[in-house]
Amino acid sequence: MIMAETKKAEKKIERNEAKKKEVKHVKKEAKSEKKKPQKKKEEKKKIIKKRPVPPMPEGIDPYEILKYVHMSEKSVRNIEKQNSLVFIVNRKFNKNEVRSAVTNAFGKDVGKVSILIDQKGRKKAFVKFTEEGAAGDIAVRLGII
């Protein structure tokens, strides 16, 4: 009887060891599938495409569209890092009209304009310039920095 119990115990141990080997084998396969040679990410210079500037609406001054430059810590950071300025604009004008107003007022090419309406009901225009340092030049000209 003791022999039968020991044989059963040995068989159980053998089965458990076989299962462990199978599990380890499966885990190794899974790890090998996950690991692929990683390519080094090269830093690319972002080139902002030049978009055609729509003509200004007739009889409208660019400063009628652009109320003032919004100044906060975040907007100063945007001037330095993202080459963009934040304007508070008249709510009835759209992105294209804001783009043409900025190019007419400051003589710099505009790459991208993003607009949002904040909680106070003001329309903010985030204007990104194509030329490097254009936002800083305009900020100095306006006496912001």
pLDDT tens digits for range 54-91:
777 788 899 999 999 999 999 999 999 999 999 999 99
The CATH number assigned to the domain holding 125 equals 3.30.70.330
The verdict on residue 87 lying in a domain is: yes
Range of the domain at 135: 62-142
CB atoms within 10 A of CB 45: 5
The verdict on residue 89 lying in a domain is: yes
The verdict on residue 100 lying in a domain is: yes
pLDDT, tens digit, 9 for 90 and up, residues 33-56: 556 666 666 665 666 666 677 777
Global confidence as pTM? 0.64
Q: How far is CA 142 from the centre of its chain?
A: 28
Number of structural domains, the chain?
A: 1
The verdict on residue 137 lying in a domain is: yes
Q: How far apart are CA 80 and CA 28, in angstroms?
A: 49
**3-state helix/strand/coil string of 77-117:** HHHHHCCEEEEEECCCCCHHHHHHHHHHHHCCCEEEEEEEE
The amino acid sitting at 123 is K
